[in-house]
Amino acid sequence: MPQRPRPHRPRKRSASPPARLVELTIDQVGARGDGIAALDGEAVFVPGTVAGDRVLARIEGRRGDGLIAALVEVLVPAEARAEPPCPHFGRCGGCTLQHMADSAYAEWKRGLLLAPLARLRLEADIQPLVRVPPGSRRRATFAFARHHGQVLAGFNARASHTVVDIGRCLLLEPALSALLPGLRTLLAPVVPEGGGDVTVTLTEGGLDVLVAAEARLDLFDRERLAAFAEAADLARLSWRRPDGGPPEPIARRRPALVHFGTVAVEPPPGAFLQPTRGGELAITERVMAAVGGLGPVADLFAGCGTFALPLAASGLTVHAVEGEEGPVRALDAAARHAGLAIVAEVRDLARRPLLADELRRFQAVVFDPPRAGAAAQAEQLAASGPAVVVAVSCNPATLARDLRVLVDGGYRIESLTPIDQFPYSAHLETVAVLRR
């Protein structure tokens, strides 16, 4: 009996190529903010570089279909290269592009939206990039680590759990950075060896602080935490254990209020807000202009009411849907206090999107999903959505995917507005207006 030929199996690439030094010319900056060069037919990703740089780099591993390398030296800098303004740049993983000249950076940022649209053959009128300046971020999640009785607090190093201890962050409202020394002193005797996160939000009532970490929190710890809230003049201080349970209130000295339009809301501790007030206003302005006087309107992935409350305050009836109960309670309380016509619903739209027959009563829909996008909801909108849909997204790739579904369902993209409220990073906010 003749032997069967052995099936051809492609040779597996080594998971860890041998470390070696190479000279590279950077061809472009990719969607993650890394410079990309070519070496023996493979892409090499080199953080901290810009297109046109000639560099010495050390191959350190593999990422996807390419290699990852560490920058050793810039041999010949490109014209697009600039001096980073922050002393922590290169160690802190919060920023990836401080080394890029401003004009090149703005062009690259706009390209984050252009590339996925082109891949999916989507054409649209793309508005000029709206830029929110550094120093205006009102919300940050700091990482901290306690080791041998000392606490480091700042941000994680790139692709690492190592905490980079920082002084002042150029992106943040100054009040957030100013809290770090006190947090280090506070956490050292309270948390065990290990680490956690601290989310700090600048509200109109003051700083709202949520610590997420394991700790026993006996009576003395609670007294220490409450005294810190008093001394630091916090609006609110809460604690959440890593098991994901509800936050435990420690001190509430004033309401941690924010305004969406003319309506005041007190979000639950750690709730999602747009990271900057300027970015939020730019997005809301475009949502309001697109919806106009069309009502009733559905606000999907509504959070605490960023869009639902201004829409309702303009006289529209709004159905707001959000997957988490805490934000819905905050939105509902604010709407009732202001006498607004909002029906708020807790519903996981990834698992249970509004169906075609539910969508028929709306004249406009606004949706602002997390980074994963709104694939299930987009399919229902494509089948039976209203005349106007406004999509707000922080991920150009999933936005393009959802827009493709909507366009295939009969919508036309009227406009796309990229909004950069994440300076020096590979994140980009976009407002898309669609009609049919």
271-329 residue pLDDT tens: 999 999 999 999 999 999 999 999 999 999 999 999 999 999 999 999 999 999 999 99
Looking at the structure, tell me whether residues 68 and 154 fall in a common domain.
no
CA distance 99 to 156: 19
245-261 residue pLDDT tens: 889 999 999 999 999 99
Domain span at residue 342 reads 107-133+273-435
CA distance 104 to 131: 14
Say if residues 59 and 77 touch (Cβ distance below 8 Å): no
Looking at the structure, tell me whether residues 419 and 303 fall in a common domain.
yes
Between 168 and 4, the more confident residue is: 168
Looking at the structure, tell me whether residues 294 and 379 fall in a common domain.
yes
Three-state SS at 50: coil
50-65 residue pLDDT tens: 999 999 999 999 988 8
The domain boundary residue, chosen from 256, 288, 309:
256
Q: Phi and psi for 110 in degrees, rounded to 5?
A: -65, -30
Q: What is the band of 436 on the pLDDT scale with cuts at 50, 70, 90?
A: very high
Q: How distant, in Å, are the alpha carbons of 19, 133, 281 from that of 172?
A: 37, 10, 18
Looking at the structure, tell me whether residues 188 and 218 fall in a common domain.
yes
Q: For strands 130-131 and 412-420, give the pairing.
A: parallel
Residues of the chain above pLDDT 70, percent: 96
State the DSSP code for 142. Answer: E
Residues of the chain above pLDDT 90, percent: 90
Arithmetic mean of pLDDT, 265-271: 96
Q: Read off the CATH number of the domain in which 156 is found.
A: 2.40.50.1070
Looking at the structure, tell me whether residues 222 and 241 fall in a common domain.
yes
Q: Read off the CATH number of the domain in which 413 is found.
A: 3.40.50.150
Q: What is the band of 5 on the pLDDT scale with cuts at 50, 70, 90?
A: very low
Helical segments of 197-244, H only = 219-231
Arithmetic mean of pLDDT, 18-44: 94
80-136 residue pLDDT tens: 999 999 999 999 999 999 999 999 999 999 999 999 999 999 999 899 999 999 999
Residue 144 belongs to some domain of the structure: yes
CA distance 402 to 385: 13
Is residue 21's pLDDT more than 80? yes
Angle of CA points 247, 267, 213, to nearest 5°: 25
Is residue 78's pLDDT more than 80? yes
- pLDDT at site 256: 98
CA distance 232 to 235: 9
Q: What is the band of 16 on the pLDDT scale with cuts at 50, 70, 90?
A: low
- pLDDT at site 305: 98
Question: CA-CA-CA-CA torsion for 41, 43, 48, 51, nearest 10 degrees?
Answer: 70
Report the half-sphere exposure of 103 (CA within 13 A, side-chain side).
2
Q: For strands 66-76 and 42-46, give the pairing.
A: parallel
Residue 236 belongs to some domain of the structure: yes
Look at 216-220, 345-349, 379-383 and tell me which has the smallest mean pLDDT.
216-220
- pLDDT at site 244: 72
Is residue 14's pLDDT more than 70? no
Q: What is the band of 15 on the pLDDT scale with cuts at 50, 70, 90?
A: low
Arithmetic mean of pLDDT, 325-346: 97
Looking at the structure, tell me whether residues 348 and 234 fall in a common domain.
no
CA distance 69 to 44: 7
Residue 116 belongs to some domain of the structure: yes
188-206 residue pLDDT tens: 999 988 899 999 999 999 9
Arithmetic mean of pLDDT, 195-223: 95
Residue 391 belongs to some domain of the structure: yes
Q: Read off the CATH number of the domain in which 73 is found.
A: 2.40.50.140
169 is catalytic: no
Q: What is the band of 7 on the pLDDT scale with cuts at 50, 70, 90?
A: very low
Catalytic residue among 92, 95, 304, 394: 394
Residue 102 belongs to some domain of the structure: no
State the DSSP code for 237. Answer: E
- pLDDT at site 192: 85
Is residue 167's pLDDT more than 50? yes
Residue 70 belongs to some domain of the structure: yes
- pLDDT at site 8: 47
Number of domains forming the structure of the chain: 3
